[in-house]
Amino acid sequence: MIRYIIRRLLWIVVVLMVVTGLTFIIFYVFPTTDPAVLAAGRNPTPQLIAQIRHIFGTDRPLFTQYLIFMKHLFLGDQYGWPGFGFSYQDLQSVKQEMYSRLPVTISLTVGAAVIWLLMGIPIGIVSGLRRRSVADRASMLFALLGVSVPIFWLGLLMLYVFWFKLGIACSSGYVPIFKTAGTVGSYGLLPWACHMAMPWFALAVGYAAFYARMVRGNILETMSEDYIRTARAKGLPERSVVFKHGLRGALTPVVTMFGMDVAFLLGGAIITEVTFDMQGIGLYAYRAVINSDLPAIQATTLLAAFFIVFANLIVDIVYAYLDPRVRYT
């Protein structure tokens, strides 16, 4: 097991290197608008552009730039470790900006995850156990509708109906729970939850639908296994057959899916954050891409990839504990 984990950690390092390389090629090597020109403002003199280029470090050869990026990543830069440099837009530390935005994305992801688990798993279990009942048909119709609806459209519809027309929901934007140095305007648990409610729901619907389908399929498969028949044959009440034997087999694959989905969203729920104007990692990444803010792009991409590969490892380890049939060597 230890050997397996070490091998996987090495593989993670390889993947992350490849990710930085790919990001570098896409955003630095491909012809793009020169960030120095963007930062210089209107009618800049060539000297100013050259100066800015020197500050950004984009006057160096590409390969040197990549090596410097790597050096800063491993050894840290003027903002400490890991060194992500400064944003080309406001010349502030990218790392600081990401730290301050992380609570937004975490709030969004965790809340939505709770909602989609609470919706998806019970729906899936009920329709799997009562196959072809009215409840099953209704849930599967909901599931198909849920996976088909575009998040941004659902979000705008909800904003229009519940906030603008009915006035019972909070507007878009993010309100923090705790007051910190950078807090402007209101804060607190209730305003936070009120502003999060619609983004949570909009984000969770698609996942809930997907999980309901997956759990239903797993239940159907598990309940026809031999060990379920054995459990029934030895006279266990149906309740413990389902809850003790059936669900264990049916819900284990959900763990894998869940870990990956949460990790993916922690890297930035771009569409939800754009729709609801929430200043999270996703919106930061999106702005960075649109404005050719290269250090911010590198940092957000690397963070997202890190979450994904790391969740992959954790999920595999957890799986080995949950499913005794899985053994790693």
How many whole angstroms separate alpha carbon 144 and alpha carbon 152? 17
Asked if 32 touches other proteins (CB under 8 A), the answer is: yes
Taking the complex as a whole, the smallest distance from the CB of residue 60 to other proteins amounts, in Å, to 11
Token pair for 1: 């097991």
Binding to other proteins, residues 282-321 (CB under 8 A): 285-286, 289-290, 292, 297, 300-301, 304-305, 308-309, 312
Taking the complex as a whole, the smallest distance from the CB of residue 299 to other proteins amounts, in Å, to 11
Residue nearer to other proteins on the CB measure, 213 or 245: 213
Asked if 5 touches other proteins (CB under 8 A), the answer is: no
Taking the complex as a whole, the smallest distance from the CB of residue 234 to other proteins amounts, in Å, to 26
Binding to other proteins, residues 90-129 (CB under 8 A): none
How many whole angstroms separate alpha carbon 262 and alpha carbon 115? 12
Number of residues that bind other proteins (CB under 8 A): 49
Binding-site member from 5, 9, 13, 29 for other proteins (CB under 8 A) = 29
- By the 8 A CB rule, do 57 and 294 touch? no
How many whole angstroms separate alpha carbon 195 and alpha carbon 68? 41
How many whole angstroms separate alpha carbon 313 and alpha carbon 319? 10
For residue 98, give the nearest of 317, 292, 279 by alpha carbon.
279
Long-range contacts of 17-21 (CB under 8 A, 24+ apart): 19/301, 19/302, 19/305, 20/69, 20/70, 20/73, 20/298, 20/301, 20/302, 21/66
Asked if 15 touches other proteins (CB under 8 A), the answer is: yes
Taking the complex as a whole, the smallest distance from the CB of residue 47 to other proteins amounts, in Å, to 25
- By the 8 A CB rule, do 318 and 262 touch? no
Residue nearer to other proteins on the CB measure, 176 or 261: 261
Binding residues for other proteins, per CB under 8 A?
Answer: 15, 18-19, 22-23, 26-27, 29-33, 61-63, 144-145, 147-150, 152-153, 156-157, 160, 164, 217, 221, 264, 267-268, 270-271, 274-275, 285-286, 289-290, 292, 297, 300-301, 304-305, 308-309, 312
